[in-house]
Structure formats: C-alpha cells, structure tokens
Amino acid sequence: MYLLNWCEETGLVEASLGGRVTYQEIEALGDEVGMILAHVNSSCEILLDYGKAQPFEAPIYSVLAEVKDRWLDSGAERITSVPQTDTDMGIEMTMRIQTVLEGREDYIRDIASFRINEREHAVTRAA
C-alpha cells in the first residue's frame, strides 16, 4: 500500500510505502509519480518514505532502483529516501552511489531530518 501527495506550490512529491510492498506496488507508484513529473513544468523533489514498511525482499531493491532512475530521467531534481534500517540504508547507498555522489539522491533515517533540511534549503534559496 502507498500514499502519494503532491504539493504544487513547493514542488514536493511525498510518497509513503507501508505494509508488505510488492513489485506491482512499486511499479504503480513509479507510474503515478511519473505522471506527476510529466505534468510539472519545473523541477520537483521526491520524498520516498518506506521506513514503516515490512522488510523488502531482495528483488524489490532493483525494481525500486529502476523506478528512481525513471524519476530522475523524467525531471526529478532530487530523491530523498527513508529506508527501514541503517543496514538497508547502507545497501541502497552502495547500490546508488553515483546518484548519491552527484547529489541527486539522499538517504535519511527519519522524516524530521528531511523537514529540518527542507527549511534550511528554503532559507538558502530565499537569501
């Protein structure tokens, strides 16, 4: 199951995955976010929270990576992910090291960290 929210004013797409996540759900979420990206005239940021989902089976990571690549290719400025555990964060950062080093992807442990960084980023843009 997933929830999706798009704030047109801030350019933020928030996606939250919960429960047992399947390949089909990742693909459906990928398609829905892709439709939003196609509709947006400016760049946007994606916050992908799956910290409360059940642990992923190994094939889900590769499907998720493919979906993230599609989002970045479709105009997403940055993807910030909230994985389940520190171990998952390490696995994913290793898999996605190039986009992390480019600053197009980030991993955090909780939503509160994102909210603090988002406010600091907004202040920097306004200055």
pLDDT digits (tens, 9 = 90+) for 70-101: 999 999 999 999 999 998 899 899 999 999 99
Residue 8: helix, strand or coil by DSSP? Answer: coil
Locate tokens 């979906």: which residue? 67
Is the pLDDT at 123 greater than 70? The verdict is no
Asked if pLDDT for residue 121 goes beyond 50, the answer is: no
Ramachandran category for residue 103: left, alpha or beta (phi over 0 → left; psi -120 to 50 → alpha): left
What's the CA gap between 47 and 45, in Å, rounded?
Answer: 7
How do the domains of the chain map onto residue ranges?
2-126
Would you say 13 and 6 are in contact if contact means Cβ atoms under 8 Å apart? yes
* Tokens 């480019």 found at: 102
Q: Which two tokens stand for residue 85?
A: 């555990």
Cα separation, 99 vs 71, whole angstroms: 12
CATH of 2-126, one of 3.40.50.300, 2.40.180.10, 3.30.430.20, 3.30.750.24: 3.30.750.24
